[in-house]
Structure 1
Amino acid sequence: MVLEIPERINLYKELRTQAKKNPKKVILEDLNGALTYKKVLLSVNVLSQKILQATNGEERVGLFLPNVTGQAIALFSLFKNGQVPCILNFSMGAQSLLDCIETTSLKTVITSKTFIKVAGLSMVIEEMEKKVHIVYVEDLKDNLALSHKIKGFLETKISCPVKASKEEVILFTSGTESKPKGVVLSHRNVYANIKQALEVIDITENDKIFNPLPLFHSFGMTVCIILPLIFNIKAFLYPSPLHYKEIPKMIKKHKSTITIATNTFFDQYAKYAEPDDFASLKYVIAGGEKLKEDVFETYKKKFSIEILQGYGATETSPIIALNTPTYNKFGSVGKILPLMDAKIEKVEGITEGGNLLVKGPNVMKGYMIHNEGFIPSSEWYNTGDIAKIDEEGYLHILSRLKRFSKIAGEMVSLNGVEDLAFQCFGDSNFYAVSVQDKRKGEKIILFTTVQNVDSKELRKFIKSKKVSSLYIPNQIHTIDSVPLLGSGKADYRKLEEMAAKL
């Protein structure tokens, strides 16, 4: 049977369909309690009315909320209203958030008083208030009238027409650019990506997803919030992926069968987890950054789990390729999803692989660019990743195009430098960046959290591998911890700033 995606999708309608079929099923849970489908639908139908009033029906509305059930309710409330949620990344600094607000011409941002207090974001909110009206979910709930509740109740019984809209959601790039770009995804983009993934991996209504990823993380939004609600799969929403000690215990307690995070987070969870904490897990999926060999081996030996590496981009809703239990090759990111096409374009100076371009129904509508407005996507999305596809059809991501350094006229892979350090010292906690150098154009600085690393040993090892001496770092610098982006990836921009000061 050929996979087909309907031309028109509304994610609120998909939620309503499942809620009608399974009203008593507990579908969402967080640290404060659980919600049945019936309660979720009622909450959406009620809250959507208050949001529409508080925002005067504005086309785009910002969401600045943690990973709790309330954010899922707010998200689908906006979907119901025909409004476009703009998911703001609360790990960004105030200036980047203001750039996001300006890029999407936001007038209103919805957040939570409790969240702002607990997360220590009062100063950020003060800056945001200079540009937008801040609406607190606590105030929306406190000011509910009986008429809102009655109308919401009736709408759970009678299917009312959903307001025609652009049916979009906007996420933002993680800030590796000078100003974040708004990534405009249609409901159909997101729905298509979920259907593509479900075509290659067996997820059933008996599964339970444990989600530590925030809504602004595209994997967190698509796979861990929208997928559960529109395909009847229970999800537990945990407020922060940084609670390394608590998360393994919570996975065990809730008998979760699926969890998704980054290599960095899985590395930390393994340090605190007991061997039986992950016994219920069927799928452990890593995305967002390269899965390191030592982390992969730790999960095999300690937990009898083979982590499945996936690959994607916010612009592709996000999944492009995925390893599965049936087709799994370590070192690759799996095979390209159904309905997607990929091509590799050669890049001057790079001998292995080339620039990866993809197209398919999950590719974004386009970008919102600061001071430029909406720029439609071209037919092929340029990932900016150097990749190759092997003879068995597995996709291998070799490096970011930007993760090359030009030294003495030669292109040197910074990922390659990290891999050599791992091979030499048996630890993946190495992070290579390049900075300007008067003599050779650029030089490589290697950061690590590993203590007592001998630079002479690495130099000797690289020479023994008969690799170009250009891969030898100019300096190895030990740090206590690696700066992270909110998505869980290493913050290479911050590392570059640190390297420039050495």
Structure 2
Amino acid sequence: MQIPDQVNLFDEMVKQAKLHPKKVIIEDVNSSLTYNRFLIAVNIMSKKIHEAVKNEERVGLFLPNVAAHVIVLFSLFKNEQQPCILNFTMGTQNIIDCIETASLKTVITSRVFVKAADLGYTVEEMEKQVKIVYLEDLRDGISTFHKLSGLIESRVSRFKKRDSSQVVLFTSGTESKPKGVILTHRNIYADIQQVFAHIEIWDTDRIFNPLPLFHSFGMTVGAILPLVTNVKVFLYPSPLHYKEVPKAIEKDKSTLFVATNTFFENYAKFATKEQFQTLRIVVAGGEKLQKDVMELYQNKFGITLLQGYGTTETSPIIALNTPEQHKEGTVGKLIPLMEAKIAKVEGVQEGGNLLLKGPNVMKGYLIHGKGFVPCGEWYNTGDIAEIDEEGFIRIIGRLKRFAKIAGEMISLNKVEELALECFGESVFYAVSIPDTRKGEQIVMFTTKPKISSREFKKFIKSKKMSLLYMPSDIKYVEEVPLLGSGKPNYWALENLAKNQ
């Protein structure tokens, strides 16, 4: 497997568009585009963007999960400009921090989206820092000349090799200001090729993507992979529409679907077996796949949920269980061309810090106030993991998801696992907060009312586990706060525990 040194994702899309001009390649709730129509739209939009933001190296995108967002993305690829995809669920201050981190001068958004998502205040604050360009204005300014030249350009098959550019995504910034993650076109293209070599994807497959493009999986697998490999995608505007997503999957006859454990649990409450019958590969990532959710999908839908693992910094996919090779409790084996090593961590008994390298590993970070910091030879995931003799990786927890109690490192993931075993449901969320006597204490939140602390304590004793795994408090919450990516927002829970 060879990954070329220079890749431009627009050029890769053009290759496929020339081969399959009439194939419907991208759909959303309101539109459906063949390769040819998509290419014409990109040619026109790239000209309009160039007129609006001529010489800016980086351009911010503040858009929902719709085909127009992907058109803008590829237009910037064509212009050799760098899209910086802003996470609209991050909160106003974090978004302003992202704008400063990437030194943005212009952000492209949409009036319809800003109104529908109630982001007026955020955009007002952004306007103090950057020029806001609305898609509606770009579209209204399209002349006959733009349309004609877009059409002619799409028919002239002269192939221009563009310089390899990059994309900037932002990490959630729960500990400090958000970091920009710089991914080159080669990083993203490599990850797509590595996945194709690892799991069988056909050009007759249909991807269902409810994940926003600021989420690296939503961007790579849900927006770029389809267009550079000739696999149709349906973009759904929000993963939170639990009743509607199963209906949309049935209507589209989707075969590939990816979400988080939390989302899968909620879809299962409303979905029927018929709605999911066309699904061929269903992958859970972003957070640990819980045993009860896995069993529910097996029993109710006859679907094997395959757990995968990735990070924004690795474009994102690192490891993946496949229909042919999967092992419960693991995230699968490394995708080809990746290397891993485990570094010992003081006080952690099981596994160690997972370090990685490969062609899909980021170029480096953009740090607020510091600028570009290159990635070293090995990327430190900050995840505690172990690799078995067959090469399957088991993630034990985030290094940050350990509490140091009375000098011992206690895994908060393990506390949640024990609660699941004891009470039979995966609705437990453990955080640690400072404690003057023991260093830290564990507070566990649950959406299950009337949990008995005595019963849990008895269960931990019966498992011959240390009582350091027993939370000092178990609190009931009606619903768990989520990040835009669908993972539990532990930072919000931690603040709640501290304030209470």
Partner of 2:354: 356
CA drift at 1:161:
5.9
Residue from 393, 401, 404 that aligns with 2:402: 404
Structure 1 contact 64–89 (Cα < 8 Å) conserved: yes
Deviation above 3 Å: which 4+ runs of structure 1? 159-166
Secondary structure of the residue aligned to 1:27 is: strand
Partner of 2:262: 264
- Whether 1:250 and 2:223 are equivalent positions in the alignment is no
In structure 1, what is the Cα distance between the partners aligned to 2:293 and 2:53? 46
Secondary structure of the residue aligned to 2:437 is: coil
Over residues 31-61 of structure 1, what are the superposed CA-to-partner deviations in whole Å (9 max), with x where a residue is unaligned? 1021000000000000000001111221000
Partner of 2:323: 325
Structure 1 contact 43–73 (Cα < 8 Å) conserved: yes
CA drift at 1:275:
1.7
Amino acid at match of 2:286: G
Over residues 125-170 of structure 1, what are the superposed CA-to-partner deviations in whole Å (9 max), with x where a residue is unaligned? 0000000000010100000122211211111011456584451001
Structure 1 contact 82–163 (Cα < 8 Å) conserved: no
Amino acid at match of 1:351: Q
Amino acid at match of 2:409: M
Q: TM-score, normalised by structure 1?
A: 0.99
Over residues 359-381 of structure 1, what are the superposed CA-to-partner deviations in whole Å (9 max), with x where a residue is unaligned? 00000000011111111111100
Amino acid at match of 1:199: A
Partner of 2:116: 118
Structure 2 contact 443–473 (Cα < 8 Å) conserved: yes
Structure 2 contact 205–231 (Cα < 8 Å) conserved: yes
Structure 2 contact 184–362 (Cα < 8 Å) conserved: yes
- Whether 1:345 and 2:343 are equivalent positions in the alignment is yes
Residue from 484, 493, 496 that aligns with 1:498: 496
Partner of 1:237: 235
Residue from 184, 193, 200 that aligns with 2:191: 193
Partner of 1:137: 135
How many matched pairs?
500
Secondary structure of the residue aligned to 2:182 is: strand
Structure 2 contact 59–81 (Cα < 8 Å) conserved: yes
In structure 2, what is the Cα distance between the partners aligned to 1:155 and 1:298? 51
Structure 1 contact 435–444 (Cα < 8 Å) conserved: yes
Partner of 1:445: 443
Residue from 486, 489, 492 that aligns with 1:488: 486
Partner of 2:146: 148
In structure 2, what is the Cα distance between the partners aligned to 1:287 and 1:98? 28
Structure 2 contact 6–164 (Cα < 8 Å) conserved: no
Partner of 2:175: 177
Structure 1 contact 80–163 (Cα < 8 Å) conserved: no
Over residues 400-433 of structure 1, what are the superposed CA-to-partner deviations in whole Å (9 max), with x where a residue is unaligned? 0000001111111000100000000010110000
In structure 2, what is the Cα distance between the partners aligned to 1:171 and 1:367? 10
Structure 1 contact 81–162 (Cα < 8 Å) conserved: no
In structure 1, what is the Cα distance between the partners aligned to 2:243 and 2:107? 32
Amino acid at match of 2:110: S
Amino acid at match of 1:337: I
Partner of 1:43: 41
Structure 2: which 5+ runs fail to align?
Answer: none
CA drift at 1:335:
0.1
In structure 2, what is the Cα distance between the partners aligned to 1:391 and 1:468? 29
Structure 2 contact 7–163 (Cα < 8 Å) conserved: no
In structure 2, what is the Cα distance between the partners aligned to 1:254 and 1:146? 34
RMSD (Å) for aligned C-alpha atoms: 0.9
Structure 2 contact 364–372 (Cα < 8 Å) conserved: yes
Q: Percent identity?
A: 62
Secondary structure of the residue aligned to 1:135 is: strand
In structure 1, what is the Cα distance between the partners aligned to 2:141 and 2:159? 25
Which region of structure 1 is more displaced relative to structure 2, 434-443 or 478-487?
A: 434-443
Structure 1: which 5+ runs fail to align?
Answer: none
In structure 2, what is the Cα distance between the partners aligned to 1:451 and 1:304? 30
In structure 2, what is the Cα distance between the partners aligned to 1:106 and 1:282? 41
In structure 1, what is the Cα distance between the partners aligned to 2:395 and 2:61? 32
Over residues 222-251 of structure 1, what are the superposed CA-to-partner deviations in whole Å (9 max), with x where a residue is unaligned? 011100011001100000000000000110
